[in-house]
Amino acid sequence: MASIFCCFRGCASFLDLGFATPAVPIKKQPTIALDQQQIGQEVVLVKDGSRICGTGGALGNTAIMQDKAYFEVRLQQSGIWGIGLGSEKADVNTVPMGNDTDSWVMCSDGYLRHNKEETHHITQLPQEGDTIGVSYNHIELNFYLNGQKLDCPFTNVRGQVYPAVYVDDGAVLDVVFDNFVHDPPPGFDKIILSNCLS
């Protein structure tokens, strides 16, 4: 019976007998991306805020509020780049990030930088096509290269932070906030939108 009614409703719509349901506009749900308002002056964001190129940094459009968050960055083109976290005060116009008290990044030269200090150095440097994972649980900020943990955490991240990336010298990065190439570490999940975006 329901299928007959649906068929009739479709015919009524076609015949315009007044039974048609008015079209309801679908509101596009906000998505996590790099924030057009939090980018360096010479940065270009494309692909709906998921790709960064140019010179400078960018922050994500939502803070990491949940206990265990994960995102990935795909190295599309080599150059100078960095990946990590930053507060709203992070200097997105200076490359490399990590030279202030408001950003914590793994850089393309293998150094982890924060507040003008190099805290760790990785020897296996990411190459074009590699995926760098980032996990944060408000205690440790960890990095993963193609799904393998690099065991070089930051343990001094404080305050409200956002995903942060920077590029220079031709680097191109794609930031991925869902549909990951590698499974997040156990207990970690994609970043959840904060209420201010919804």
Q: What are the structural domains, with CATH classification, of the chain?
A: 34-196 (2.60.120.920)
Global pTM?
A: 0.85
* Average pLDDT of the chain, as a whole number: 90
Q: What is the mean pLDDT of residues 100-123?
A: 97
Contact (Cβ atoms closer than 8 angstroms) between residue 50 and residue 174: yes
Examine the pLDDT at 114 and tell me if it is beyond 80.
yes
Angle value at C-alpha 175, between 171 and 178, nearest 5 degrees: 160
Contact (Cβ atoms closer than 8 angstroms) between residue 82 and residue 99: no
pLDDT at res. 16 = 53
Q: Beta partners for 125?
A: none
Examine the pLDDT at 10 and tell me if it is beyond 90.
no
Question: Long-range contact list for 104-108, CB < 8 A, 24+ apart?
Answer: 104/141, 104/154, 104/156, 104/157, 104/161, 104/164, 105/164, 105/166, 106/82, 106/132, 106/143, 106/150, 106/152, 107/80, 107/81, 107/82, 108/78, 108/79, 108/80, 108/81, 108/82, 108/171
pLDDT at res. 198 = 43
Q: 25 falls in which pLDDT band (50, 70, 90)?
A: low
pLDDT at res. 14 = 47
pLDDT at res. 194 = 77
Q: What is the mean pLDDT of residues 11-31?
A: 60
**Higher model confidence: residue 5 or residue 151?**
151
As a whole number of angstroms, the distance between CA 52 and CA 124 comes to 23
Centre a 10 Å sphere on the Cβ of residue 80 and count the other Cβ atoms it contains.
Answer: 16
Nearest to residue 87, comparing CAs of 98, 73, 72, 74? Answer: 98
Residue 101 to residues 35, 58, 85, 133, 176: CA-CA distances in angstroms?
Answer: 21, 16, 11, 22, 25
- The pLDDT tens digits for 52-99 are 999 999 999 999 999 999 999 999 999 999 999 999 999 999 999 999
Q: What is the mean pLDDT of residues 32-38?
A: 97
Contacts (Cβ under 8 Å, ≥6 apart) of 18: 12
As a whole number of angstroms, the distance between CA 31 and CA 29 comes to 6
